[in-house]
Structure 1
Amino acid sequence: MTPLDQLKPRMRGTIHDLHVGKELARRMAGLGLRPGSTIEVIRRAPLNGPIQVRIGHTDLMLRRNEAAQISICLAV
């Protein structure tokens, strides 16, 4: 498992687990961040800025500290 914040642009994988509280997990699920979903990193903002990810046809911006709490199984 690799934390989402460690992935580089164009890397993709499957969400394995969300290590967040109940409220944040509910909000993330509403955005499509659920275990089993395929996710791709589009770009990483400099200076510890947010990470742009794509789930299906939806692009999201995540704070790095939130992305660090999402475990990813890398695609081969």
Structure 2
Amino acid sequence: MRLSDLPKGASAVVEQVNDAHADDMIAQRLRDLGFVEGEPVRLVARGPIGADPLLIQIGSTRFALRRSEAARVSVRWPEAAA
């Protein structure tokens, strides 16, 4: 699933950032910001026009991402606590 497809308020775990092409600077910047495998993320809010931008939270930090940027991040639902 893509980060851009999460419902508002939903939490997930980052699987990977997908490069759109070789030397994808946006994908690299997302990884530098903390979008790395195993990191929990949450979609806090969607923008009013076309649901753009998305407000994403990692830890205590929030980022506004375009949907096209968030679509590069693959996520999965968090595993249930045992």
Q: Are 1:4 and 1:71, in contact at CA under 8 Å, matched by a contact in 2? A: yes
Match of 2:58 in 1: 55
Match of 1:6 in 2: 5
In 1, Cα distance between the equivalents of 2:4 and 2:28? 20
Between structure 1 and structure 2, the one with the greater Rg is: 2
Matching of residue 34 in structure 1 with residue 33 in structure 2: no
In 1, Cα distance between the equivalents of 2:5 and 2:28? 23
Q: How many residues align?
A: 75
**What are structure 1's unaligned runs of at least 5 residues?**
none
In 2, Cα distance between the equivalents of 1:5 and 1:26? 18
Q: Are 1:5 and 1:67, in contact at CA under 8 Å, matched by a contact in 2? A: yes
Moved more, 34-43 or 17-26: 17-26
In 1, Cα distance between the equivalents of 2:35 and 2:56? 10
Show CA shifts across 1:13-72 (max 9, x none): 110111124422321122111121110010011222110010001000110011112111
TM, length-normalised to structure 2: 0.81
**For the aligned residues, what is the CA RMSD?**
1.4
TM, length-normalised to structure 1: 0.86
